Amino acid sequence: MDGDRVEIDGGVMEGGGQILRVSTALSCLLGLPLRVRRIRAGRSQPGLRPQHLSGLEMIRDLCDGQLDGGEIGSTEITFTPGKIKGGTHIADTKTAGSVCLLLQVAMPCVLFAASPSELRLKGGTNAEMAPQIDYTVLVGNSFFDLLNLSGAKVTCLLLGYYPQGGGEVIVRMSPVKQLSPINLTERGTVTKIHGRAFVAGALPIKLAKDMASAAVRCIRKEIGDLYVNIQPVREPDNQAFGTGSGIIIVAETSTGCLFAGSSLGKRGKNSDRVGIEAAEMLLGNLRHGGAVDDYLQDQLIIFMALANGVSRVKSGPITLHTQTAVHFAEQLTKAKFTVTKSEDEDSTKDTYFIECQGMGMINSSL
């Protein structure tokens, strides 16, 4: 602590942008002044990139806070939060930086605003090293149901790809008084597998068909008794900025759990390979027997920490992103997490329970 400023080392554990997202969101929510040093020290290009900076600026603006050190390449920032307000908030990475990662930092904050919010997020909708927008719309809207957030909705207006970005997503949310605990422990059985393989801009539809076929063949080897419906699509020119391709596949279960696998095409990458990568990611998420996939696992941590009561989530192996989120959530909120290996499974499965006694954050504006 420096005076009352919480000190965060941005180079430990995952060592990337996630530390910044979790710590600044919690700083904003809890009114804790923050200093983050060694930002993204674990990355080949350390310091703030455009998407991190636009996320920080959005958090600063939505709580009338003060941000120092906010420039591209900066490895240290200080942030002093104010009061979270509703209304329209805009963040534009001006690059292909992920809009889905912008949503991750802003969403917990606007839930505790004084009035409803609309987030307008601009950048890459389908970016490397981040959830795809298709995933965020589908799993995100189901996630809102999980948190009992009536009226919350993610809508994609314009798709944007690497390297230009140019996509735009709108998220509307109403504030809550308190978050209920999350209970995701019943996996159920897989009832449906569906998805879409897409091309946009100058790419031929044949690429989408090849991605879809390769993915279906890969899934059928392991799950032969279920119809796998992956639609090849060309994104309409007026709804996509630039050229891109990729695939997302989602499995739904009898208890409403969603698991996903996705992959993006790029120059020189065989379209069969793209389809197989997404299929293998989905199958990996289905093998472990948990009730959440690897993408959602770490995104739940901040909500579990803020919730009122005990949250319990059954997952596959604990990812480094999740370990990092737990570390900083505990440091800042005083919520208590425990992770235990599940004993009730057949021993071949690598399944864990993440449990959290939340801090019971209350929205004092409501």
Backbone angles phi, psi at 216, to 5 degrees: -60, -45
How far is the CA of 130 from the CAs of 30, 57, 284, 309, in angstroms? 26, 20, 18, 30
Peptide bond before 204: cis, by omega within 30 degrees of 0?
no
Ligand-binding site membership of 104 (annotated)? yes
Ligand-binding site membership of 239 (annotated)? no
Ligand-binding site membership of 45 (annotated)? no
CA dist., res. 336 & res. 309, Å (int): 11
Quick one: DSSP state of residue 239? G
Q: CA 27, 30, 36: angle at the middle one, nearest 5?
A: 15
The two counts, helices (H) then strands (E), for the chain are 9, 17
Q: Which two tokens stand for residue 189?
A: 């059985």
- Say if CB 36 and CB 75 are below 8 A apart: no
Report the run of H or E that residue 245 belongs to, with start and end: strand 244-253
Question: Catalytic amino acids?
Answer: 321
CB-neighbour burial class of residue 3 (10 A; exposed 0-12, middle 13-18, buried 19+): exposed
What DSSP string describes 316-365? SSPPHHHHHHHHHHHHHH--EEEEEE-SSS-TTS--EEEEEE------TT
Ligand-binding site membership of 297 (annotated)? yes
Ligand-binding site membership of 298 (annotated)? yes
Binding-site residues for ATP sit at 104, 295-299
